[in-house]
Structure formats: C-alpha cells, structure tokens
Structure 1
Amino acid sequence: MKNALQQSLMVSLVIAKLVIPFSILSEILQFYGVIEYTSFIFEPITQLLNLRHEVAIAFAASFFLNIYAGIAVAAGLSLTPYEWTIVGTFIAICHSIPMESAVLKKVGFPINVHWISRLVLGIVGAWFASLITPETLAGGIFNQELKTVQYDGFTDLIKNAVTNSAILCIKICVLVSALICIFELIKRSKTYNAYLQKHTYMSSLIVGGLLGVTYGAGILLKDFNSVKSEHKVYLLTFLMLAHGLIEETLIFLMFGSDVTVIFAIRMFLALMAVFSVWAYKTWQYKNKQTKELIND
C-alpha cells in the first residue's frame, strides 16, 4: 500500500501542475474574450458537434497535453451536462496523443496510425454523443448549478479562479488516488496472482482499462512482453480507444455528463476497431494464400 500512496502522490502532483494553471488560464482568457476571438478557426468541427466554438480550445489542450488540461480548460467554460457529455466523449477518446504515442511506439504501434485514428474516432464518437444525448439532460449527482460569474476586476478574477481550480484539482486527485489504491489491492488479491499473472492478456487489459496507457505504462509494458504476438495488435487497438475507462468516466460524472453514453461509445468504437483489424488481417491472410495458390 506504501507504493500505491507514493504513486498517488506523484500522479496528484502531475494533475495539480496541469489542472491549476490551465483552469486559471481558461478563466483569464474567457474574461478578456481571447477564447472567443481565436477559437473561430475550429467552428466547422464544433458546429458539427453542436457545441460552442470556444470548446475547441479544450479539445486542443487534451489532444496535445493531457486529459486533465482539457478538463481544466472546459471547466472554465460553464458547460451544460449535454455539452459535457459531448466534450467528455471526445476528450476521453482523444487525449495525451504525443505522450501515449511514445508508450505505444515502444510496443510497435505505428505513430501515424495512432494520431489519425484517435483524432478521427474522437470526432466520430463526439458526433454520436451529440445525436443520442438529450439536450435537456439534467446534471448528475455531483453537478452544480451552472451560472455565468461576473467578476469585479482582475484581483477578484484571480481569487475565484485559484479557488475553483484548487477545488477541481482536489476532486480529481482524490478520485484518481482512490483508483490507484484499489488497483494495488487487486494486485495483492489471490485471484490476480493465481489467474491474471498467468494470463497476461487479461492483466494488460485491466491495467490499461483502469489506469490508462500513461500512468499504467510501466506495468503495461512489462506485461505486454509476454502477450502472444498475434494478440498484441488487438490488445493495442482496444486500449488505444478504451483505456482508463473507470477513471475518466468517473471524472466526467462530476460534471453531470451522461457517463453511460461516454462509456458505451468508447466501448463500441474500441470493439468495432478491433473487429476491423481482425477483418483486415483475415482478408490479408486469405489474399496471400490465394496468390500462393496462383503462383503454384
């Protein structure tokens, strides 16, 4: 449990370094109207997703930096539960791309395929969410009443921004730390040691599904080496779209989003992607056999 607490502290520091400054920056940029003047570039995508174009800044932050940076920016935009469901779907699918590309590269996943597929499927997933989520969606049990805050000046803005960012940071850190401790308990259980360590395919799925590719990278890379070669491409394809399922789903629950929509879309896209890879490999194998028969 000591290791879990140390890891929780390290992850919490990473979260704090991202959430607090980006949350404050988001409120400052919104206060001075900077987001409104610059985010029109992304208007075609946000119109497709039935969102305000300011949300594109949160998309960019999550894509290039981290899911927590994207959440911190989005948290300052006073989004409705309906908007949070769409934003949450995109961010959950499409975040930390450069960082996670480095992890996936070590296990042989093509970087260009990773970047393009995550971006395209992120947009597709968010579009699905915009269609099936009712615009009148009420907030969840953790959602607070949405309202536009008017500040008296820059000092008042900073004071409130720091307070809001600190509260958001604490909520996320408590949630993530609890999940890390739960996973540590799972690793110590007899079931894990007797079954999952022998079946590393399942072990890798649990690590990636619970902690995600980035924070579970060390364990994931270790387990991945013993996964059968024919299973690796399917495992990577699934985890590319459906990693950190529990952690990220619960985070978006705090904002009142429809987490069943987010979870269902991620699972559907991940399974469809795995099926597509299987179908392609099957076609490739049969095509190779046909050519060999013709040559003979």
Structure 2
Amino acid sequence: MNFDTQAFLNSALSTAKVIVFTVIPYFLLAELLMYFELMPIIAQVFEPFTNLLNLPPETALALASGVFLNLYAAIAFAAPLGLSVYDWTILGLFLGVLHSIPIESAIMKKLGVDWLHSVGFRLIMAFIVLIPLLIIPTEFLFDNPDHVASALYQTTLTTPDNFTDFILQKSYEAVLLAIEIIILVSLVIFIVTLIKGLKFLQKFDHHLSTIMALITGLLIGITYGAGVLLKEAQYMSKKQILSVCYFLMVAHAIIEDTLLFVFFGADIFLLIGIRLFFALIVFYFISNYYKTTDT
C-alpha cells in the first residue's frame, strides 16, 4: 500500500478552508434570519416546494444552497433548525442526488452529458429516490422518525439576553460545528486516500477503465474525482461513459455525502441503500439501451 501523505494533507487543508468559509457564515446567516423572524417569511414563499418533499418550510434555504452551492452550505442552514431523523434522511437523499449543480454539471458536460440532460435527470431522480420514504409508513423504516438528533455543537447554553451575547454564542456554535465537520471530512479523506493507495487499484489497466471510473466516482465523488473520470473516459466507449455518468449522478461520494447527514441523525442504511438501488437500475437500463441501439 502506498499512502500519499502530501495528497492527503493538501486535500484535507483545501477542504477545511472551504468548510470554514462556507459553514460559519451560512450558519450565522440562518441564525440571524431566525433571530429577526425573517425565516418564516422566506419559508412561506418556498412552502409548496418543501411540501412536495414532506419537509418543514424552513429547510428551503438549505435546499437551495445545497443545490446551487455545496452540501456544506446546506448543512450550515439546516443545522440550527432542529430537524428530525426523518427530515435529515429526506434532505440527505434529495441533496445527495441534486447538489453542486453548476460545478458537477460542467464536469458532466466534459464527459459528454450536456447541461439540460444532466440537470433534468438529477432533478427527476432526486424526487424518485424519495418515493420509498414518501409512500412507506415511517414506522416501518425508522425506530423513532420524529426524534431530533442533536448535533454535537448544540449545548445547554443559556438563551442570550442581548444581541451581542447572541452573536458571540452563535459564533461559538458555528466555529464548533465547522471543526466537527472538518474532523469528519478529514477522516473520510484519510480513508479515501488509503483506498487509492491499495496496490490492486494501482494495477488497473485501461481495460478496466469503466470499473475504475465507477469506483472513483462512488467513493470520491464527481468533483474530486473529475481528473480520474476524464482520464479514464478516453479509454471507454460512449455507452460505457454514459452508463457511468448516469450511475454517478444518482450515487457518488457515497461515504462523505452520507456521513455529513448521518452526523445529524439521518439513517445511513436508507441513504446508501436507496441511492445505490436506483443507481444500479439506471446503469442497467442505460447499458441495455445502448446494447440494442448499437446492434
């Protein structure tokens, strides 16, 4: 095994920087919106959409920031809301499929899937993966779906008496939350770096490019794995590229994305199992479609 320490440190530090500059300001913004009682106004505008997802209206900003920015911003907006295990699982499934659209759609375009198809497909699949949670009674899926799983940053601090105390307390909570997410993500990066250093992966030749691309995207994600995906795509057929792309648009970064929401109480088995189930179905249909059209 070859563990690339420098690569791990570079990735961990660059990710930590993104987390700090994303989580802290958005967390504070969410708290300020609630402090000045502006959150209900925003929530009311987006209520029809959040109702479709069976989520509280207050999650609108978390959804929007996750879709257009990244999951760290979504977590920052959602963390102060006191969401239940069920809410976090819904949020994790939806945003697990539909997040970081501007960046990841650009990568998909380089791989041969245009913006309209990739965004449209991910939007549709983001709703489809929720079907089991929306139609199956929650008591069959969760032991206690309404339980509010407190994140570690939530403490028994007293209610602030004035705005200055409020800012100080929430700044402390924001920094603590950012540190906790950095530790979690750094652990994931460490594990992924270990996996990448495994000798059997390094022995993959280009005859196994499809498998390598799937493994890379599934473990690392579309954004961080873009270099490998683009490199391996040179040795893949159009059918193989599209099969991999559509699979990964449903299930990618399965470790990091999942643990971010599990940290707040989401069900890990539902998040991984449902996304993989639908991703495999998509992979099967894409592969078989191009089999029939190529012959």
TM-score (norm 2): 0.87
Corresponding position of 1:69: 73
Give 1:216 deviation, angstroms.
Answer: 2.0
Match of 1:294 in 2: none
Q: Deviations over 1:55-79 (max 9, x none)?
A: 1211111111111111111112111
Indicate how the Cα distance of structure 1 residues 35 and 125 shifts in structure 2: closer, same or farther if over 3 A, else same: farther
User: Are the equivalent residues in 2 in contact too, given 1:87–1:126 (CA < 8 A)?
Assistant: no
**From 21, 25, 28, the counterpart of 1:21:** 25
Q: Residue 186 of structure 1: CA displacement?
A: 2.4
Q: What is residue 52 of structure 1 aligned with on the other side?
A: 56
Q: Which runs of 5+ in 2 are unaligned?
A: none
Q: Distance in 1 between matches of 2:291 and 2:200?
A: 34
Any conservation in 1 of the 2:67–2:100 contact (CA below 8 Å)? yes
Instruction: Give the equivalent residue in structure 2 for 1:211.
Output: 220
The answer to whether the Cα contact below 8 Å between 2:83 and 2:149 also exists between their aligned partners in 1 is: no
Amino acid at match of 2:210: Y
Which of 248, 251, 256 lines up with 1:247 in the alignment?
Answer: 256
Contact in 1 for aligned 2:19/2:72 (Cα 8 Å): yes
2:46 to 29, 32, 42: 42
Letter in 1 for 2:118: H
Identity %: 36
Matched pairs, number: 286
Of stretches 13-22 and 265-274 in structure 1, the one that deviates more from structure 2 is 265-274
Alpha carbons of 1:109 and 1:258: their partners in 2 closer, same or farther (altered >3 Å)?
same
AA of the residue aligned to 1:265: I
1:30 partnered with 2:39 = no
Match of 1:115 among 119, 122, 136: 119
**Structure 1 residues 267 and 196, CA gap change in structure 2 (3 angstroms):** farther
The reply to whether residue 174 of structure 1 matches residue 178 of structure 2 is: no
Which is further off, 53-62 or 172-181? 172-181
SS at match of 1:54: helix
- State the shift of 1:280 in Å: 3.9
Partner of 1:265: 274
Structure 1 position 228 matched with structure 2 position 256: no
Q: 2:163 aligns with which of 154, 159, 174?
A: 154
**Worse-superposed segment, 7-16 or 33-42:** 33-42
CA RMSD, Structure 1 to Structure 2 (Å): 2.6
Aligned residue identity for 2:185: V
Q: Is residue 239–residue 287 contact of structure 2 (8 Å, CA) maintained in 1?
A: no
1:106 has 2:110 as partner: yes
Q: How far has the Cα of 1:32 moved from its partner? A: 1.4
| Matched ranges for 1:67-146 at <5 A | 67-132=71-136, 133-134=138-139, 136-137=144-145, 138=147
Q: Distance in 2 between matches of 1:144 and 1:6?
A: 26
Kindly report structure 1 stretches of 4+ aligned residues shifted beyond 4 Å: 138-150, 282-286
Q: Which amino acid aligns with 2:63?
A: F
CA contact (8 A) 1:78 1:146 kept: no
Deviation of 1:189 (Å): 2.2
In structure 2, relative to structure 1, the CA distance for the partners of 1:144 and 1:183 (3 Å cut) is closer
Describe the shift of the 1:37–1:150 C-alpha distance in structure 2 as closer, same or farther (beyond 3 A): farther
